[in-house]
Structure 1
């Protein structure tokens, strides 16, 4: 997975032009992933809703909209970004978790599709709107699926959704306020490797759906496994598409009319499109290990430290495979901010082409939950972002400066 260029532009050339640390996104890869998902579900009426919390850069949102992908948001700020990117209210789904009801009202008033995830907000929504505004209900199907417990969202102890075992309470509230429930939703988790978890969750949702008379949508979320290294196991999209499409079409026939099948991928669409470029500040030879210390840290790419996530790392400045060494790639934050975690979630070394001070160290799968989770920890500024589209590298977010650190500070006499 050592890609030394993006659309013919060398990574080192991008680092020289825009400086490091730098996020670079390949528009072609995003378009490719959209196509894969559509092809996998070509036999059903599919709608893709980009889970934009993965990457909210306006240019990425506009690229999604240009290619017919709608959007899923989880906050009023993401809602405003969606509107700025040109989405209309009906193209936006608001899927919050545990928010105050005024956020739900705000989204409903601009015409977004609302996804209700607990009994209290279901009742409040019904009391306020009755059958004047349709809503989706997020169901927790009690299914285990995902890469690890931090990214599983459908198991019995998850905070997300209304338990499937509370169906009678849901139906009681819906009947009480004559609510129009237009969709049922579930999201199993991230990095789901095979179709089993999806099919279990889908079976549970489709069975429950028979009790709702106004449905237009079945929303099965996202969480498809992407490749993090050569030979990595990924979700078999063709297999998943065949299995779920068959089950969905059978349900529609039994239900008596065709429905839309929605998915809300985030990582699947943008993860592999992103490459994070850093510079080796120093190569620190220790009696036990050799450390490559780069000009970034968990403040810019926190997934390894937060999730034990694996990112492929390579020396973009040296394409000579004949001389290699084992390196532990670490950041400059005053924490143990190791980038080179193993696939098993442990700090480890990476075998790379010989690294020298000043080399460009690249990290793959940096398109999702990387910049969007970045911070100014240690009073460090956030990186710039670049989109490579039609063979041209375009700056889509400027690098912060010290003024950005101080922007909201209010000095007082102490």
Structure 2
């Protein structure tokens, strides 16, 4: 099982990110504040690569998890490609230095004009529905290679009502019962299908189940003669400290390494193996620092009110996601049970009945595992500002996004009489 990889370390009763006290970061840049640790990102990337020894592995960072361009550029320096889901993400990637052939565009239910724009930008195209695949075939034929995103209808280990990527009812991908239609388009328009893509899913927790699914995908891939790669997507979770099972990516790598090598021998040539981790790389590397601004008691509940809200980290409210919370101001205090809430004028619980050291107004809390889908899903709800972002690289804290201000909030509004 993957270890909990929180970027914060407790030294001499002081929490630090690399060698920088988090209290110092809060004082210098204010709160709420997103902080990302480059060392933790690299550690997770190295771990992801560790199990693969004989295959040609390509890691494409799924930047929707965290689109800060300094983080994207850092991952470029670590040798990753880029997985994108919008034209803006493609443009960000090109701006920081990614080459077009290292960027894959995997949109979902978009107008075909976006795919046309992506072709003009020269990136790898991944299409997930027959409608757009037919339009692509009619316009480009075999002149532009295309990857197809499949829904292989593989039963996942566990399903939830909101996360169910491999289930046959998922909206993602081309259904297996439409493979004959794909083959017909390939034949009629001489399509150059050079890749098969599926989503590896956050609901698959064991290498054995993953490998069984992979074998089914390999069987599908044998129907296509011009493949250069198979892409197993992203979604792989890391241990956030909630006690839930996560897949061992090193063991997965070792097993998939063998199976993919065997598939390539059967296919007749060596293909590339692609993955698109997002949360796995940046999730545990990020922290949302926030001050306790209100302590109150209602009925039998002790509330810790902080200067953030679900407008800045929506995952606990949207998914019921667990985030470890640390009182960095009083790490050795007596343990008490609190409900940690935000400042939005709706219920916005970050944690309910969470055991924390005694917490007072003014204490600095760190909400951990907030690097993925934290800032990228933030909003200005309640007309509040989005926080600043800081990236710690080689023990130096860099401001990589300024905090919103009032001018940002009203910039695109037009007042009429």
Please classify the TM superposition score into its range, dividing by the shorter chain length: over 0.9
Q: Decide whether aligned partners of structure 1 residues 217 and 194 sit closer, same or farther in structure 2, where only a CA change above 3 A counts.
A: same
Which TM-score applies when normalising by structure 1?
0.95
Distance in 2, Cα, partners of 1:409 & 1:233: 46
Residue 350 (str. 1) matches residue 361 (str. 2) = no
Q: Are 2:156 and 1:112 equivalent residues in the alignment?
A: no
**Contact residue 62 and residue 278 of structure 2 kept, 8 A:** yes
Aligned counterpart, 1:166? 178
Q: Where does 1:97-246 land on structure 2 (aligned, <5 Å)?
A: 97-145=108-156, 148-190=160-202, 192-229=204-241, 232-246=244-258
- TM superposition outliers: structure 1 runs of 4+ over 6 Å: none
Q: Distance in 2 between matches of 1:325 and 1:169?
A: 60
3-state SS in 1 of match to 2:340: strand
Q: Within the alignment, does 1:38 sit opposite 2:49 as a pair?
A: yes
Distance 2:57 2:280 in 1: 16
CA distance in 2, matches of 1:181, 1:128: 15
1:82 equivalent in structure 2? 93
CA contact 2:242–2:322 (8 Å) conserved in 1 = no
Residue 10 of structure 1: how far off its partner (Å): 1.2
Match of 1:149, SS state, is: coil
**Residue 103 (structure 2) aligns with:** 92
Contact 1:147–1:192 (8 Å) recurs in 2 = no
Tell whether the 8 Å contact from 1:143 to 1:197 is kept in structure 2 after alignment: no
State yes or no: 1:282 paired with 2:286.
no
Q: Check if 1:28 corresponds to 2:43.
A: no
**Post-superposition offset of 1:200:** 3.1
**Aligned position for 2:12:** none
Match of 1:264 in 2: 276
Match of 2:392 in 1: 388
Alpha carbons of 1:144 and 1:403: their partners in 2 closer, same or farther (altered >3 Å)? farther
Does structure 2 conserve the Cα–Cα contact (< 8 Å) formed by 1:44 and 1:249? yes
Distance in 1 (CA, whole Å) between partners of 2:276 and 2:223 is 24
Deviation for aligned residue 1:144: 3.7
Q: Which residue of structure 1 lines up, in the alignment, with residue 3 of structure 2?
A: none
Bigger mean CA offset, 350-359 vs 236-245 = 236-245
The separation in 2 between residues aligned to 1:109 and 1:41, in whole angstroms, is 34
* Contact in 2 for aligned 1:53/1:74 (Cα 8 Å): yes
Q: Distance in 2 between matches of 1:42 and 1:33?
A: 17
Distance 1:127 1:20 in 2: 53
Determine which structure has greater relative contact order: mean sequence separation of CA pairs < 8 Å that are 6+ residues apart, divided by chain length: 2
Say whether residues 1:365 and 2:396 are aligned partners.
Answer: no
Deviation at 1:180, TM superposition (A): 0.5
CA distance in 2, matches of 1:366, 1:242: 29
On the 8 A contact 1:186/1:201 being kept in 2, the answer is no
Q: Secondary structure at the match of 1:339?
A: strand
Which of 284, 298, 305 pairs up with 2:310? 298
Instruction: Give the total of aligned pairs.
Output: 405
CA contact (8 A) 2:200 2:236 kept: no
Q: Distance in 1 between matches of 2:34 and 2:27?
A: 13
CA distances 1:244-268 after superposition (whole Å, capped 9, x unpaired): 1111111100000000000000000
CA distance in 2, matches of 1:42, 1:282: 52
Distance 1:160 1:191 in 2: 15
Contact 1:188 1:197 in 2 (8 A): no
How far apart are 1:373 and its partner, in Å?
0.1
Name the residue aligned to 1:70.
81
